[in-house]
Each structure stands twice: as structure tokens, then as C-alpha cells.
Chain A
Amino acid sequence: MKLPLARGPLSSHVLALLEAAPSGLPAPDGWADEVQDVLGDDDLQLALWILYELHYRGFDGVPDHEWDPHLIALRTRLEQRFEAELRQCTAGYVEAALHASEDLFDQVMVVVDAVDGPSLPRYLQREASSVEMLDFLTQRSLYHLKESDPHAFVIPRIDGRAKVALAELQYDEYGAGRPARLHAQLFADALDACGLDPAYGAYVDLVPGHTLAVNNVMSLFGLSRRLRGAALGHLAAFETTSSVPCRRIAGGIERLGLPTVVAAYFHEHVEADAVHEQVAIRDICGGLVEDHPELRGDVLFGVAACLHLDVLAARGLLGSWERRREDAVVRQVA
């Protein structure tokens, strides 16, 4: 993948480090301290995304800086702000769930019901134009081309029933023995069929801060053993809000007459995620909390963080389409 374009001082600094020797340039004093909207800041979220990407596929022509202590230190500073902000935004949901029930399944559902936002899948099903649907696929490509990879980092950090169930779920995500059925491959096939670029990371420059944050939160949780509970809670929230929405999205794709392989990706997820949501909540998170009761709060934090960021990203996307429609009306009138 090519390096993304800088979006401000933080991402510029990270890009400069990757192109030179990382330890050569010290971080400016108070680095990232002045960022206000941590969850939506284009520059901060892009800087974090670039640093995380070193642990996935890396960048063309950039030497191996994956474990450079200076870059890890910069990343840690961004992560501290990111995690603190997420904890603050979600503490109320976690508290409410802990008080509502003692049962983990019910607690997860309390958070799912409580985090409220616009229904992007319903809009895609009934109203979205082809341009908007392609925009949606473009935005989603950042994650779906490495689908399930962030949660795979958790496997060596857990044991017993939770580990067995996570491996089972990941095996299904990774095609259950058939490379052509790898979920990331199914999404690449869908992009290709629409005339979009199926190359990994091709659209990062078009992805706004909130959607970068949706991606970054998975790496934040997946790459830290301390946050393994949150990583698995995130997985449970993701899977449990997928099956029914994917049916709506597939309906929208069929309404617009896009190629059948595009709808096929979403149909696969109607069926797969009806399984995965049960496995993720009951066996993965249930198994983890049974062995480590102290991680229950973090599991619920992961659930709430996933859903909260999804709402912010969906609002941003729907808002950008609304502005585009308004601009078109203004142009027509003028």
C-alpha cells in the first residue's frame, strides 16, 4: 500500500518519521495534547491508523519500523487519549448494564439497546443512490479488506472455552478452509464487480476521522493484552449488530441492481453472523468472563465503544450525503 496523504501536523510528523529514521525526529512538546475532538479528528486518527498499519501489511518502500521504540512511544500517547475519551463516552452504558442484570448476555443487550443512532442500513435499503452505496462500500473497504485480522491478535492471549470459540469463529471468517471464501476476499470481489479498487488500503485518503476511529479501536484493543476483554466485547457487538443490518444492505444493493457478488457478501453475513453473534457473546465473552470475572466491565466497555463509534461514523456518512443533496438542490435553483 502507498503511504496516505498527511492531514495535519500529527500525521505529517508520523509520515516524516517513516520516510526518515524514526528516532531522528523527537515528538514536539505537548504532541497531540491540543486535539479537541479525539474520536473525529482526521489528523490524529490518521496518524494512529498509519502507526497501527505497521503491524498489519505495512507500506510500500517503508523499511521495517514495526517495533521502533520511538514510534511505539508516539503511538502510546495517541492511544492514551483515544482510550480515555472512549472510556468517558461509554462509562454510562457500562454502569447501566452492570446494574440491569448479572447475566452477560443480557448486559450486552442492554448496551446494544441503549446506544442509539440513525439507521444507516435502513437508509441503504430504501433510499440510498448508487453513488451513495458505492461511497459506503468504499468507506467500509478499509476494514473489510482485513476483516477479522484485529481480533485474531487476541487468540494467543486467552485460554480454554473462549480460545476454542474464537478460533472457530475466525476459521469461518477466514473461509473455513477455502481461500475463495475468505471474507476479505468476498469483499474484494464485491469491490471489483462494482468497478472499485479492491487493493488493500486503496481508499484510506477518502476515509474521514470517525471511520478511521472505527478501524483504530479494533487495533487499540487487539494489540494490547491488557485490553483483551474489550477486544472480545467489541467483536461481540460487531457480530450482534450485523446479521439483520446485512439483510437490509443486501436488499438495497439488489434494489439498485448492483452485481450479485456485491449482495452475496452481505447475504453471507446474514447467515454467518447469525452464528457468530451467538458464539461471540455466549462462548467467547461468556468463557472469558467465567475464567476472568474481573474482565466483565472491559467486555462491556468494548461493546459500548464499538457501538458508539459506529453511530458517530454513520451520522458522519449520512450527514455528508445530505449536504451533497442540498448542494445539488442549490445548484439546480441557481
Chain B
Amino acid sequence: MVRLIASLVGAAFVFVLGLALFGTVSDWITNPPPESAEHEFHREALDAGLPSNGVLGRFDRRQVQRGFQVFQEVCSACHSLKYVSFRDLRQIGYSEAEVKAIAKGWKIEQPSINAETGEASTRPNVPSDRFPSPFANEVAARAANNNALPPDLSLMAKARHNGANYIYSLVGHGYVNQPAELLRKFPGAKTPTGLHYNQYFANLNIAMPPPLTQDGQVTYSDGTRASVDQMAKDVSAFLTWTAEPNLEARHSAGFAAVIFILIFCFLAWGAYQNVWRDVKH
């Protein structure tokens, strides 16, 4: 009885799947999926070659600091970093005094209230503050950016596939002229005004204007030549750190854990051999 019912249920599912399959095939033939510009012209991200990659990867403190400088001087005009505090900069090698100075001198102040009148006001940042958003709210952010919202960058390196390389490619090598071939094949796909063609952005047209436009846009305090490629790499290193500040601790702990577990395996294997030595199995 169970088997009879089962075979009927099975037959029903298989039959309906057969119908669905027929539908898929006929649909495929009568109306093949249109080619899309994204499918053909979207590029896989280039490798930024960051030293934090790899099993025992670590941050290059100087590079992360340079990346912070790029963020400070360029990206922070539009992007927030709401999960990172000024004091976290201690981890990438800034001294306590430097952190205080950076917080105090930060162009965007913290929202606050006037202690006497209770009216809304702002105050300078202190190390325990998170990096403030350059815009008061989403409406203001959109109004200033052609109705697009610049996303928070704290987690960006984990929030995109292959994130660190993606950020590097997007801001360092993504802005090119829209290929003539694309326009020939997809005449309707011309980048609309207000958007910018970027070969690494998912739909190829991004609202962010090219943020890194010329070599030397930032003057690195450590003397490194600030080519667009270098700035893009450095900012991607910085955002890798903001997304995963515990990366180094994780790698070191992992190294120790693996050694410990290997010793455990070795001992367990020995015990196993010993216990079973007289029993064929």
C-alpha cells in the first residue's frame, strides 16, 4: 500500500516536472533569453595583491595608513564608516596623540545638543566616536549625489564578492570610456547622464563619479608616489582592515589552533592503534 501510494506520488511529481520541462524547452526555443550588456562587458576584478591575503597574511601598517589618508582626503566626502571608531586607528599604528588630533581635526563634527539651550548642534570628535557620516540623513545624501546613496564603507570589503580586489578595480581601473562595441551591440545601453561607465560595477553604470582621477591627488606623508593604481590599492587595504580588524589575530590564533589539533590527531591516532592492536577489524 505504501509502495503503491509512493509510486503514484512519484509519478505525479515526475509528470508535472515533465510538463515544466516541456515548457522550459519550448520557451527557450521560441524566446531565447536576450543577451545583456552586463553579461558580456562586466569584468572580473583584478588582483590587488594585498599582503593581508593568504593563510598567514598580515596588514602592511604603512599601506593601511596611506589608505586611511586616501579615505580621509577623498572618500570621506561622500562615504561614512559607521562601525569604526577613531580609537581603532591605534591598531594600524597611530599613537594616542595622533588619534586625538585626527579626531579633533575631522571635518565633519558629531551631532550633539547645546548644553544650555538644548538646541541641536555639533561638537568636535573624540577618539571614542565612530567616524561620522558626511550627510545628516539619507535624503541629504541622495540630494547631494544625483539621487544615489553612497553606501557605508566599513564592511564593503566583505559585502561584495572578492571585495578587496573589487574595490581596488572599481576605483582604480574601472572608469573607462564605454566601449564602442557595446554601443553597437546594445544601442539602448548607453550610460545615462549622471551615471558613469565602470566595467567592474555589476550593472556597468555607477552613480559615483570617478573618485581617483589623477596621480598625486593625495600627497602621501611617507613619500610613496601616489599613482591612481597605488591609491586604489591602499584604500582597498584600508577597507580590508575596517571590514576585518581582527584578521591578524585570527590568522595567528588559527596557526596555533591547527598545530594544537594536529598534535591531538597524532596522539589520538596512536591511542587508536594501541587500543586496537589485538583486534582484527
Partners in one complex: no
A interface list, Cβ under 8 A from B? none
B interface list, Cβ under 8 A from A? none
